Amino acid sequence: MTGGPVTAPAATGRGLDGATARRRFVTVSFLFWLPIGMSIATGVLLFTERGMGLAAIAGCYAVHSLTAAAMELPTGGLSDVIGRRPVLAVAGLLNLTAFTLIGLGATAWAIALGMGLMGLARALSSGPAEAWYVDTVHAHAGPDADLRTGLARGSSATSAALALGTLLGGGLPWLLGFAPGVGEWLGDMTAGLVIPLSVPALLGALVEVVFVLYVLSSLPEPPRPPTTPRRVMGQVPVAIAAGLRLGARDALIRRILLTASAAGAALAAVELLTPGRAAALMGSAESGALAFAGLACAGFLCSALGSQLAPLVARFTGSGERAVLASLGLVTLGLTLLGLTAHSMSPLATALAVTGFGLVYLGLGAAGPNENDLLHRRVDASGRATALSVQSLSLQLVAAGAGLAAGILPPGPLPWLLAATAVLAGALLWVRRAAPTDVPPSVVGPARRGQDKPLRGDASAPEPVTVPTTAGPAGHLHDTEPEETHLHARPT
């Protein structure tokens, strides 16, 4: 049955102080996204070498996004019941299988299956690590503890992992191309399953083993009441319904969800169209993978810089809301530059396109921590997982549709400018500051009422809301755990 509003247990990370929790959160973020970064530079080009066209490749990405979207809320409910550590470990095992299929798959169905498994892993992993960190900090320093710094470092660690992974993933096929006969030897030894462009994905599968072992050994959480598969399945719909109600009843959360949708459109265009532009500029798939690796590495470093600058942007603009507005303005400008230079390969056009690429990631990096800080202060620990699951769901759904549209539309400025328009619409949502929402007493956690203070200079931040939780066996109440969403973290 559904219990009344409660505050989730705070002692998620018993025995760990804030600094230790932050280091482990950063490490988990880095290890999870490193193998995904290793597959970014070669993803589209690998699929092309396997004989797939751009529309088919967009379809595979849609499989990833739609799977993640369909499973986002159900898996969020699952993690509320069985715990965040096992869910993260399962996500790592699914990614291990996905990278193996992508690296060895010579048919479209095998690649699509790998992308689907990666989407399921994305849904499972979209928040338990951040949940563990936020609740541990609250348990150690109270609900008024600073979250933005830790969230920014976690986002920076993700960006650094993606940057390093992309550089490694793009450089490996290029280096293997220099060794005489290595590519032919790999193909002969594996009946054509392994080619230089597939090596980064296979190496990423090995990194996933390290990730799973670290999660199981370094993320302690309190024991949960015993449950059964029947109870788990019965509680998941409750979490889904609670998540869908969040955006409907709260204007600030609705803005955050729509902004995540706009970010999904931007990422779909950048990730699908940029590798082909790099290959056309360089003249071959391997050289294009190396060029795109360097470009993506620079983009993720820009994202890491933006994440580190997020607190400064909020102070400079006067509030977290205005910081999101300014950050999305940079993303819009970057996409516009990419669109205006789509038909030219002149040095000036290339320089403007590279600048635009960097602005997209700089803006997304600065927007993410400020959005999530607003979100964490709007919902308490019992509703954080559901809110972040819906946020990730919004990004994945729009990313799937935008990716399909970008694959179908004729090459040129149009796909880029449509994505820029979507981000501009998301930015305009933040022109006016959100008025405080009158939350009914039935959804405000009494133990938290008035404890989550507005950000400095952010007078419009309303009280946190609590999502009704589901009663477990023996009267125990399971908290709805927070989940993380990185707006630049849709793997390619």
Average pLDDT score over residue span 26-44: 87
Amino acid 398: pLDDT:
83
Nearest to 125 by CA among 95, 105, 164: 95
DSSP-derived letter for residue 145 is S
Nearest to 407 by CA among 86, 172, 102, 59: 59
Cα gap 69→490, rounded to integer Å: 12
Residue 478 vs residue 362, higher pLDDT: 362
CA-angle at 114, arms to 108 and 116, nearest 5°: 100
DSSP 314-370: HHHHSSHHHHHHHHHHHHHHHHHHHHHTTT--SHHHHHHHHHHHHHHHHHHHHHHHH
> What is the percentage of the chain residues whose pLDDT exceeds 90?
14
Within a 10 A sphere around the Cβ of 2, how many other Cβ atoms?
11
Average pLDDT score over residue span 438-452: 36
Answer yes or no: are the C-beta atoms of 122 and 90 closer than 8 Å. no
Amino acid 11: pLDDT:
41
Amino acid 485: pLDDT:
35
219: left (phi over 0), alpha (psi -120 to 50) or beta: beta
Cα gap 310→35, rounded to integer Å: 26
Instruction: Spell out the residues 6+ positions from residue 37 whose beta carbon is closer than 8 angstroms to its own.
Output: 161, 162, 163, 164, 165, 166, 168, 169, 296, 300
Largest CA distance in the chain: 71
Answer yes or no: are the C-beta atoms of 244 and 114 closer than 8 Å. no
Answer yes or no: are the C-beta atoms of 253 and 246 closer than 8 Å. yes
Cα gap 78→280, rounded to integer Å: 44
Average pLDDT score over residue span 426-441: 65
> What is the percentage of the chain residues whose pLDDT exceeds 70?
71
At 249, the pLDDT band (50, 70, 90 cuts) reads confident
Q: 462 pLDDT exceeds 50?
A: no
Classified as helix, coil or strand, 71 is: helix
For the chain, what is the mean pLDDT?
Answer: 75
DSSP 199-235: HHHHHHHHHHHHHHHHHHHH----------HHHHHHH
Cα gap 280→54, rounded to integer Å: 14
Rounded (10°) angle between helices 251-282 and 54-82:
140
**3-state SS of the chain: helix, strand, coil percent to 5?**
75, 0, 25
Cα gap 389→373, rounded to integer Å: 15
Cα gap 40→191, rounded to integer Å: 24
Which tokens go with 435?
């008025």
Average pLDDT score over residue span 103-125: 87
> How close are the terminal C-alpha atoms of the chain, in Å?
41
Average pLDDT score over residue span 3-30: 64
Amino acid 436: pLDDT:
54
Q: 41 pLDDT exceeds 70?
A: yes
Q: What is the pLDDT of residues 324-370, one digit of tens each?
A: 888 999 999 999 999 898 888 888 988 999 999 999 999 998 888 88
At 114, the pLDDT band (50, 70, 90 cuts) reads very high
Amino acid 227: pLDDT:
63
Q: Distances in Å between the alpha carbon of 458 and those of 246, 475, 486?
A: 21, 39, 23
Average pLDDT score over residue span 297-313: 85
Amino acid 80: pLDDT:
62
